[in-house]
Structure 1
Amino acid sequence: MVGRTENGSEADEQSAESESCVYYIKWVDVEGVDYAVVMQNENGPCPLLAVINVLLLRGQITLPCGSTQVSQKKLLQFVADCILRLKPKDIDDAELPNYEQNVSDVLTLIPSLPKGLDVNIHFTGVKKFEYTPACALFDILNIPLVHGWIIDQGDQELLKIMDGLSYNRIVEKIVTTNNESENCLLRNFLDSSASQLTTQGIAELLSNLNEGEIAVLFRNNHFQTLAKQKDALYVLVTDMGFLGESAVVWETLDCVDGNSTFVDAVFSVSNKPEIVANENTEQVHFMLVGLYSLTLFFNLQTSSQLFFEKMKVWLIWQQSPHCRHEIGLYSEEYDVQDEVPRGRALSLSTQAVRPHKNYNRTSKGLKVHVLQFPSYSLDLITEHKRTMLVKDPGTSSTRLSISYDAFLVKSEWHRNVVPVSGSVLAVNTHETFRNLDRKQILYSVAEKVKQCIESLEWLERPSLLNTFYLTVYPDLKKYTFRYWNCIPALLYPQAVRMLSNPTQISAELATSIQMFKALHHNEAFLLVGTTPAPLSSIVSNNFAWSSDIHIVYPDPSTLTAFPGWPLRNLLAAVAYVRKDLRNAKFICYRSGGVPSIIIHLSWETASDLSTAAVGWERIKGSLTPAFINLRGSLDPLKLMEFSAELNLRLIRWRLVPNINLQRLMNLKCLILGAGTLGCNVARSLLAWGVKNFTFVDDARISYSNVVRQSLFSFDDAANGGKFKALTAAEGLRKINPLISAEGICMKIPMPGHSVPQQEEKEVEKTVRHLENLVKQHDVTFLLLDSREARWLPTLMTTFHHKLAISVALGFDCFVVIRHGVSDDEVDEGSEQSQNDPNIVPGSQLGCYFCSDVTAPGNSSLDRTMDQQCTVSRAGISSAASGAAVELLAAVVQHPKMGGSPARLGENDESTTVLGATPHQIRSFLSRFTQASF
């Protein structure tokens, strides 16, 4: 099973790659000591990253304090040095040749560490792997290599089958052997533990690792740094999206379903950033997606109100070229010139919204959701921080990018980020987008800049001078997006020109500025000779302007001959507050390998500051919006997830604003019987967003099943037929690969069906297994062929207070019944039911067998073939399945869910947001009538 291993023929290519590939460094404070954590690049959580971070946390290697990047070549050299340095002192002469051979083998593996290693696990121990040179690497470095894909020790049958077999051998066994019962067990285990982590595995990791020990966890073809602290397991967070989050260092590893909690460097729960939103907002998500893309969506899920006001978001200049959760907006170069009578006019490199081609489309921030009805405007918080990558690797153009966490309130920004305040307007129709009053928009944003200058607020926070107004029309069914960005620049002062050609600053000055910028919180500041001073000094009565004064500001331009667009408003502000000045020197401070420049400007000052401005982005010189189509660029799985959820969210936004979709999506459904009813029920549940299914059936697919059972095809019935349960689960996963669907081959014990003595233990095991399944699921559908097959599951669901829904078919009729859910903690009858005799509490509802006067027996004994087959009208199974699923949907909307009451006589449609919650539904197709009670 594994990560791939690069071969020797690719050594030259790997060497060249290691020279240019870099990793970003996150510094974390552990009780006053700074530790470096190397973050992911495009290779993800690779073996190199896991090994390096273990060595760093152990203190076996160190990085220069304060460094922000490290090359891949340097990291590989660290590993090689450690391998050569860690030779055991007490090794015997007889063992030395073998050790040296292992070292030689391991050294040949080092170039492949950024890509992957061949690792093949055994399922009977967290430290059991098939021995390979990759294992020798971890042995020599004395780093425990562990996994958490372990068989439950109570499953003796599976342990016996898998004893001594590695993952690769098990896959080979499934493919090459014809032992269906064993293969069924093996497939079930692999499918049910597809996350490659089991509860047994977590328990064994805790018992095998020592307190404070650091290891490498192998899971899902990835290698992660794992630590045991305070009797808990933690995985090191190396995702680039958390580079600037000092409070997010580790992530808990305590369950198999992916739920986790972020903690800081000392393993205290991290305070997640607050989401700023209207009080009626449930959740806000921001997204820019696509390869060659900029897209902007918001998951603004409201209850009854349809309008949002004053939501916060940040638009960021980001200097990290490998930020996983960002889309870059790069600029095309064009000049904005004032009319000048003489000299050289000032031209500026602008920031335009463009797709950034290096966006990683596998970003886990790929969530697309939409505001319900109205167009909406989002205001952006004004925070500012410095250094920024101003260079797009492919085009050398400046980038203006929106980060994945744009809605989050952050007390501080990463030192490589300059936040820029602004607004986003998203509209719902193309016509609205075309008819926007763009002159008024430009005037309004220019007015804000003007007020900021006149109020002198910019002297304390110069970043307020930089703003934008992004207008977007997303067509979320076609995945096309039209957008047009406005970055306002005041046409003040007049006749701006350069008095001399720009010159590059010296290395000494660059070093000084690098230190000074931190003192001024990455804002613009003054440099008087070699002494820094705040911008507010400009208006001080004791401040005399001289030729050695420079105004230093963070500049996004990559051009040596032109400053960036932000200089425009900074110049306007300086000219406004110092009307005595006619010229000044600016230092356009840059980073990311782009030379900083000094530019000397002169101007003519008008008496009044006006809102005259330019700023709407040009596309190839013309004022027109941009258009992108993302359908071919997005991850198909994410498209599937979004599209499926969109239909459900439209129900809430347009028709049922109070529906609780999360209750439906979180349901765990046990479907007993994977035949006609089972397939149809599963398909309908899938449409409601349910993501967790377990099918139980022991039958095989026959050719007569295929036309009626919607999850099967002709090929499934060939060669004796596949197992229905396994094939139904596989069919659901083909429809929606993002769900969890498991098939279990099980014959349910039935009253009236005798059991041979030699099979009694097997039946007892089956009963325990079935009981565990009932306990693990929220609702059980009884869709089995015979009446007696439903008896034991009914008994179990009643005993464990679980909701059960039974569906039975006749030739032209059906019945759907929900079983009563009793709960010792719930009173026998609510106040409402006590006041209204027609209301029956959910705890008093009967089950499928409540009106029986005799125990169920063997109903299939001595039946002829025509009596054994389910004979019914073709459409009745779909109608019955739909009624059962819709009954469940209504029941889970009730506060008591399975305990929701039923009503005698006419049903009350206002019981839940989806209507009534009857006890039974009976339909008769011969009369096309339906009754519920």
Structure 2
Amino acid sequence: MPVVQFTQFSSLVQPTFWHELTRLKLEVLKLSDASVPLTAHYSAGRTIKDRNTGQEVALGCNFTVGSESFDEKHSLPPFAVVAKGIVKNYNTIDEFKNADKRALFSQAADEIWDSIEKDHDASALNRFLLITFADLKKYKYYYWFAFPALVAHPLWDIEDDWKEAKEQFTDKQLLSLHGHLEASTTPYFLVRPAVAGDGVDIAPVEDYTSFFANVPTDSQTIGFFDPSPHPSSPGWPLRNLLAYLRAVHPTTTSTLRVLCWRDTEPAHESGQWKSRFGVLTGGPAEGKPSAVGWEKNPQGKLGARAADLAPMMDPTRLADQAVDLNLKLMRWRILPSLDLEKVAQTKCLLLGAGTLGCYVARTLMGWGIRNITLVDSGRVSFSNPVRQPLFEFEDCLGGGKPKAEAAAERLKKIFPGVNAAGHSLAIPMPGHPIPPSSVEQVKADVAKLEALFDEHDAVFLLMDSRESRWLPTVLGTAKGKIVMNAALGFDTFLVMRHGPRTEGPDGKRLGCYYCNDIVAPADSLTDRTLDEMCTVTRPGLASIAASTAVELLVSLLQHPLGINAPAPAPVVGNQQPVEEANGSVLGQVPHQLRGFLAQFRNMPIVGAAYNRCTGCSDTVVKAYETRGFDMMLQAFNETKYLEHLTGLDKIHEEANEVLEAVDWDEDAGDDF
């Protein structure tokens, strides 16, 4: 009699599997090479008819994994069988090559045998092993499947070769069996003629003894869901099923009637059933059998395979996975508790798309922030591109493109996955009266700015004048937004976070940009010379200040108290900074940083809120909340309004009165 030949599985790895493995490696496994449970599936063997020859062509004996394979409870396609196993991903290609594959395979085979011998459990017969190495920089994946199968000694023989199932079963029986398997696809089952009717009854193989009690031998059939499409060789799962039956029922399974079920659609009038049937004869049951099952590569040799996704991936998706690689690697060894999701979800509004705005936007993207909106009223000039990295020479032509829109467009070119928008909008300022003809336009601009504040979480003040920061300061305080301020001198810079409206846990309230002023912001733009119209700084200063502002924001986002994080205590002399007990995972979250490029020095400063501040005091904020645009218009048009509102004018009067009360002795002579 001919020896039974088996068709091994052929792995079919969906690209989505590699995408999910990439995510799992970066965000969960990191440096761990621990085994991860995996759920694969296979379907019945299929053939298609060749249009030219009319012959049936066998398709692959596919064993499929995809992104859903990491979810044990995922839904399966119709007539698909579950196979459970593990994937073990190595950190380096050398570890992958040098892995003890013999030990890994033996462990998987032992688990199958133990489930048979000790538990009489058939659920582990489809167990598999997958080892991988993921080169996440090149998107190339190396992998090797093992499908452990227990080898019978001596081998199984078949009487008269495999036949069509309809030679042993009636159409009614086959239709009945199809109905059973359609309701619940099971990898292995027992079949007998129905107790009542013309159909069949089925049961799990674990019920062998009770199910076949009082059933004639020639009516007992062992069935399995066959992934092989070949007419003369059943699929790989049959090997372990035969091993199970010989080990658990050695006295009654030396000869078995086997049904290889391959029909996913019932054959009605045509009678074209694809399932196969054969009678197998085996030798005496022995002890623990050996096992085989490493998959061969496309060259027909035992060896790993490789999947190169880079050429076939959508470049946009490739970029989407690659741009945050640096951030995710931070969490492997350096900062496991870094909350990148919180950073990525932060929506940032940048007021100013000049030198500071361009550098801030680029650094925000580097931190994984994907929602960036820029506001600016200017156009790109020929002096801009060398200092402002989001612009090119072509942006200057024809009068220049609007800065905010051009910057947002360039961000999308750098990374298409960013949600960037630009708005050409002038921010009204105190000390710059609004002509009656422009009031409605200014009112609309203010309403648009208020809406933008409502839509974002953090606001950067990156403008080139002092008074342009007043309105955003008021709005940020009133709406409880994170406000980050950056300002440049020639070789100095200021970066600060505005304090929230309420006191912090230490009972103190941090100040804003205007809290140290005893005068209201006024017109600083009129009658300026050329060097005063441009921000004249050392060229490296803007990038330093912009990066510092973004890093301060991210540190604030990582602090458990967020916007309410207290400032660390000031450093005195050569004293070492005191570490915060509940600080940010990125370190300290200072209130202000003043940088001095001439000395290459940064100095942290803490500034308390001032109850007469023209930007963030309760008096100003409540006036805005009560009167809205009318209050703003008065602040724009009346030079002394804010000082009168906050009481700064009284302080000026009291100071003048003190000076006038001093008894100056003009005749006392000169002491110098």
Report the TM-score when normalising by structure 1.
0.58
Of 55, 63, 74, the residue aligned with 1:400 is: 63
Deviation at 1:904, TM superposition (A): 3.3
1:621 is paired with a residue of what secondary structure?
coil
Q: Counterparts of 2:286 and 2:241 in 1: how far apart (Å)?
A: 17
Deviation at 1:533, TM superposition (A): 3.7
Indicate whether 1:349 and 2:7 are aligned.
yes
Q: In the superposition, relative to structure 1, how do residues 645 and 416 fare at CA in structure 2: closer, same or farther (>3 Å)? A: farther
Unaligned runs of 5+ in 1: 1-342, 835-840
Deviation at 1:606, TM superposition (A): 3.3
Deviation at 1:412, TM superposition (A): 6.9
Q: Are the counterparts in 2 of residues 811 and 873 from structure 1 also a CA contact under 8 Å?
A: yes
Matches within 5 A, 1:582-601: 582-592=254-264, 595-601=274-280
Q: In the superposition, relative to structure 1, how do residues 363 and 642 fare at CA in structure 2: closer, same or farther (>3 Å)? A: closer
2:142 is paired with a residue of what secondary structure?
strand
1:345 is paired with a residue of what secondary structure?
coil
Matches within 5 A, 1:317-716: 343-354=1-12, 369-370=25-26, 371-380=29-38, 388=44, 396-410=59-73, 413=76, 415-458=78-121, 462-506=122-166, 507-518=171-182, 522-529=186-193, 530-534=199-203, 535-540=205-210, 542-543=213-214, 546-580=217-251, 581-592=253-264, 595-608=274-287, 610-619=288-297, 620-716=299-395
2:383 is paired with a residue of what secondary structure?
helix
Which gives a bigger RCO, structure 1 or 2 (Cα 8 Å, sep 6+)?
Answer: 2
Indicate whether 1:865 and 2:530 are aligned.
yes
Q: In the superposition, relative to structure 1, how do residues 391 and 642 fare at CA in structure 2: closer, same or farther (>3 Å)? A: farther
Q: In the superposition, relative to structure 1, how do residues 365 and 443 fare at CA in structure 2: closer, same or farther (>3 Å)? A: closer
Matches within 5 A, 1:187-266: none
Q: Counterparts of 1:702 and 1:693 in 2: how far apart (Å)?
A: 23
Q: Counterparts of 1:395 and 1:922 in 2: how far apart (Å)?
A: 74
Q: Counterparts of 2:397 and 2:58 in 1: how far apart (Å)?
A: 56
Q: In the superposition, relative to structure 1, how do residues 715 and 865 fare at CA in structure 2: closer, same or farther (>3 Å)? A: same
Indicate whether 1:855 and 2:526 are aligned.
no
Q: Where does residue 644 of structure 2 map in the other structure? A: none
Deviation at 1:637, TM superposition (A): 1.6
Deviation digits for residues 587-608 of structure 1 (CA, Å, limit 9, x no counterpart): 1101357811112211112332
Q: Which amino acid aligns with 1:712?
A: F
Deviation at 1:566, TM superposition (A): 0.4
More helix by share: 2
Q: Which amino acid aligns with 1:484?
A: W
Deviation digits for residues 186-235 of structure 1 (CA, Å, limit 9, x no counterpart): xxxxxxxxxxxxxxxxxxxxxxxxxxxxxxxxxxxxxxxxxxxxxxxxxx
Of 485, 495, 515, the residue aligned with 1:816 is: 495
Q: Which amino acid aligns with 2:148?
A: P
Q: Are the counterparts in 2 of residues 820 and 898 from structure 1 also a CA contact under 8 Å?
A: yes
1:748 is paired with a residue of what secondary structure?
coil
Deviation at 1:700, TM superposition (A): 0.3
Of 563, 582, 597, the residue aligned with 1:898 is: 563
Q: Are the counterparts in 2 of residues 694 and 743 from structure 1 also a CA contact under 8 Å?
A: yes
Q: In the superposition, relative to structure 1, how do residues 883 and 480 fare at CA in structure 2: closer, same or farther (>3 Å)? A: same
Q: Are the counterparts in 2 of residues 668 and 691 from structure 1 also a CA contact under 8 Å?
A: yes
1:511 is paired with a residue of what secondary structure?
helix
Deviation digits for residues 396-448 of structure 1 (CA, Å, limit 9, x no counterpart): 11111114322334297554321111111111111111111222122111111
Q: Counterparts of 2:86 and 2:18 in 1: how far apart (Å)?
A: 27
Q: Which amino acid aligns with 1:918?
A: P
Q: Counterparts of 1:621 and 1:628 in 2: how far apart (Å)?
A: 17
Deviation digits for residues 218-264 of structure 1 (CA, Å, limit 9, x no counterpart): xxxxxxxxxxxxxxxxxxxxxxxxxxxxxxxxxxxxxxxxxxxxxxx
Indicate whether 1:767 and 2:427 are aligned.
no
Q: Counterparts of 2:118 and 2:542 in 1: how far apart (Å)?
A: 72
Q: Are the counterparts in 2 of residues 387 and 591 from structure 1 also a CA contact under 8 Å?
A: no
Q: Counterparts of 1:391 and 1:401 in 2: how far apart (Å)?
A: 17
Deviation digits for residues 150-178 of structure 1 (CA, Å, limit 9, x no counterpart): xxxxxxxxxxxxxxxxxxxxxxxxxxxxx
Q: In the superposition, relative to structure 1, how do residues 745 and 361 fare at CA in structure 2: closer, same or farther (>3 Å)? A: farther
Deviation at 1:868, TM superposition (A): 0.5
Q: Counterparts of 1:576 and 1:778 in 2: how far apart (Å)?
A: 66
Unaligned runs of 5+ in 2: 50-56, 194-198, 266-272, 572-576, 606-672
Q: Which amino acid aligns with 1:555?
A: D
Q: Where does residue 458 of structure 2 map in the other structure? A: 779
Name which of structure 1's ranges 684-693 and 749-758 shifts more when overlaid on structure 2.
749-758
Q: Which amino acid aligns with 1:886?
A: E
Q: Counterparts of 2:320 and 2:504 in 1: how far apart (Å)?
A: 41
Of 715, 718, 739, the residue aligned with 2:418 is: 739
Q: Are the counterparts in 1 of residues 43 and 81 from structure 2 also a CA contact under 8 Å?
A: yes
Answer with 1 or 2: which has the greater Rg: 2
Q: Are the counterparts in 2 of residues 494 and 606 from structure 1 also a CA contact under 8 Å?
A: no
Deviation digits for residues 736-757 of structure 1 (CA, Å, limit 9, x no counterpart): 1111111001010011112211
Q: Which amino acid aligns with 2:161?
A: N
Q: Which amino acid aligns with 1:617?
A: E
Name which of structure 1's ranges 439-448 and 368-377 shifts more when overlaid on structure 2.
368-377
Q: Which amino acid aligns with 2:152?
A: Y
Deviation at 1:374, TM superposition (A): 2.0
Q: Where does residue 925 of structure 1 map in the other structure? A: 597
Deviation at 1:463, TM superposition (A): 3.9
Q: Are the counterparts in 1 of residues 84 and 126 from structure 2 also a CA contact under 8 Å?
A: yes
Deviation at 1:522, TM superposition (A): 2.4
Deviation at 1:805, TM superposition (A): 1.0
Q: In the superposition, relative to structure 1, how do residues 738 and 622 fare at CA in structure 2: closer, same or farther (>3 Å)? A: same
RMSD of equivalent CA atoms = 2.6
User: How many residues in Structure 1 have an aligned counterpart in Structure 2?
Assistant: 569
Q: Which amino acid aligns with 2:320?
A: E
Deviation digits for residues 841-874 of structure 1 (CA, Å, limit 9, x no counterpart): 4xx1111111111111111101122221111101
Q: Counterparts of 1:578 and 1:503 in 2: how far apart (Å)?
A: 26
Q: Counterparts of 1:478 and 1:772 in 2: how far apart (Å)?
A: 43
Q: Counterparts of 1:364 and 1:537 in 2: how far apart (Å)?
A: 39
Of 376, 397, 402, the residue aligned with 1:718 is: 397
Q: Counterparts of 1:689 and 1:544 in 2: how far apart (Å)?
A: 67
Q: Where does residue 155 of structure 1 map in the other structure? A: none
Q: In the superposition, relative to structure 1, how do residues 389 and 708 fare at CA in structure 2: closer, same or farther (>3 Å)? A: farther
Q: Where does residue 65 of structure 1 map in the other structure? A: none
Q: In the superposition, relative to structure 1, how do residues 428 and 621 fare at CA in structure 2: closer, same or farther (>3 Å)? A: same
Q: Are the counterparts in 2 of residues 822 and 899 from structure 1 also a CA contact under 8 Å?
A: no
Q: Counterparts of 1:915 and 1:548 in 2: how far apart (Å)?
A: 76
Q: Which amino acid aligns with 1:669?
A: C
Indicate whether 1:878 and 2:543 are aligned.
yes
Q: In the superposition, relative to structure 1, how do residues 404 and 731 fare at CA in structure 2: closer, same or farther (>3 Å)? A: same
Q: Report % sequence identity.
A: 36
